[in-house]
Amino acid sequence: MFCKNCNALQKPNKNINYYDILGIDSTFDLDTNDLTKKYRRLQSILHPDKYASSSENERNISEEYSSVVNKAYSTLLPPLARGLYLLELQGVHLEEGNVQTNPEFLMELMERNEEVGQANSESEIRAVSEKNKKMLNDLIKEASKAFKAGNVEEAKEVLIKMKYFSSIEAKIKVLKINKGYME
Predicted confidence at residue 37, as pLDDT, reads 97
| Pairwise CA distance, residues 9 & 22, whole Å | 16
- DSSP classification of residue 53: T
**Total-model pTM:** 0.87
Predicted confidence at residue 35, as pLDDT, reads 98
Instruction: Please compute the mean of the pLDDT values over residues 25-39 and round it to a whole number.
Output: 97
Predicted confidence at residue 46, as pLDDT, reads 86
Ordered by where they begin, the domains of the chain are 18-77 (1.10.287.110), 103-179 (1.20.1280.20)
Is the pLDDT assigned to residue 5 strictly greater than 80?
no
23-37, 59-73, 83-97, 125-139: least confident range: 83-97
Predicted confidence at residue 81, as pLDDT, reads 98
> Which tops the pLDDT comparison, 48 or 75?
75
pLDDT tens for residues 142-169? Answer: 999 999 999 999 999 999 999 999 999 9
Is the pLDDT assigned to residue 183 strictly greater than 80?
no
Predicted confidence at residue 94, as pLDDT, reads 79
Q: Which residues of 128-162 are buried (b: 16+ CB within 10 A; e: fewer)?
A: bbeebeebbeebbebbbebbeeeeeeebbbbbbbb
The values of phi and psi at residue 9, to 5°, are -65, 130
In three-state form (DSSP H/G/I as H, E/B as E, the rest C), the secondary structure along 1-52 is: CECCCCCCECCCCCCCCHHHHHCCCCCCCCCHHHHHHHHHHHHHHHCHHHHC
CB 170 within 8 A of CB 133: no
CB 74 within 8 A of CB 22: no
pLDDT tens for residues 90-120? Answer: 999 876 555 567 788 889 989 999 999 999 9
> Which tops the pLDDT comparison, 37 or 11?
37
- DSSP classification of residue 95: P
Give the relative orientation of helices 103-118 and 122-148 as an angle to the nearest 10 degrees: 150
List Cα–Cα distances, 183 to 4, 45, 122, 131, 167, in angstroms.
50, 35, 10, 16, 19
